[in-house]
Amino acid sequence: MANFDFEIVGKIGSMALIRKNEGALDYNVFSRIGEQLRPGIIWISSGATEIGRLDYMRRNNGIELLGSEEDTKTDYSAQGQAILMENYRRFIAPQYSVRQLLVEHTHFNDPEKREHIRRFLMRCPAQNAIPIINYNDPVSFEENRRLEMQNLRGSTNGEHFVECVDNDETAAVICTLVRARYLVLYTSADGIYADPADPSTLVPEIGGVNVDEVVESIRLHQQSCVGSSRKGSSGAKAKLEFCIEPVRNGSTVFIASANHKLMDIIAGNAPCTRIGVR
């Protein structure tokens, strides 16, 4: 049996925090998440860029920013971070401290920085604190990031490096870093579907008697994954890819809708896709 240092690492995608048809924050989701979070849970939250975009438009007569995609992403995410954290603080129980951690791929590809982050996260439960993690979009742009990744690959003998632009990958990296028992990936859907166009084809389990069987099953289900919930999102296929390393590390992964509570998902009382060794 694997020994785990954390119980739960959770992640929510941008569109699960938004009432898409209204172009507004879904405060019910923030409230539902906030009442569940407690010390011992690490939370990774997307949403800063989209929330910043909506907030900018609301303050500027519905007009969006003009300029390059990289520049507008930087400006929107910088504006949205404050709102994102404001809402987590509002809905998390007042007796708990809330701590924001903004990360970049370089932090996890450097052993000393990675260990510094691990120690920070490990201190949080004893200090009655809940860490909220997001990728640091305001200070990272694609061209520079690609160059950094190219240099990293060229300086080693095939060592694996993480990019973490997609917060699904960030959540998987954090889950592996702290050896969490469960990784819950909240999305706008109930899980992985055999037919993405048919909600009745929800796959309840992607499993096997050992890790190799689980990975084989993941590869099979990736073949039916198409599209993504928003521009810039890697979609279900990449989400499944990011699940592999946590599963190899002994974690059980759940992909589920943000309409359901964490404990209901883990207990099998809510629709989801469970990924792991049986």
pLDDT band at 20 (very low <50, low <70, confident <90, very high): confident
Average pLDDT across the chain, whole number: 89
Tell me what the mean pLDDT of segment 79-101 comes to.
97
Tell me what the mean pLDDT of segment 163-183 comes to.
90
Cβ(51)–Cβ(82) below 8 Å = no
Can you list the domains of the chain with their CATH numbers?
A: 6-277 (3.40.1160.10)
Interval 202-246: pLDDT, tens: 999 999 999 999 999 999 999 887 655 444 445 788 899 999 999
- Identify the residue whose tokens are 């924050």: 25
Distance between CA atoms of 20 and 257, rounded to whole angstroms? 15
Cβ(207)–Cβ(276) below 8 Å = yes
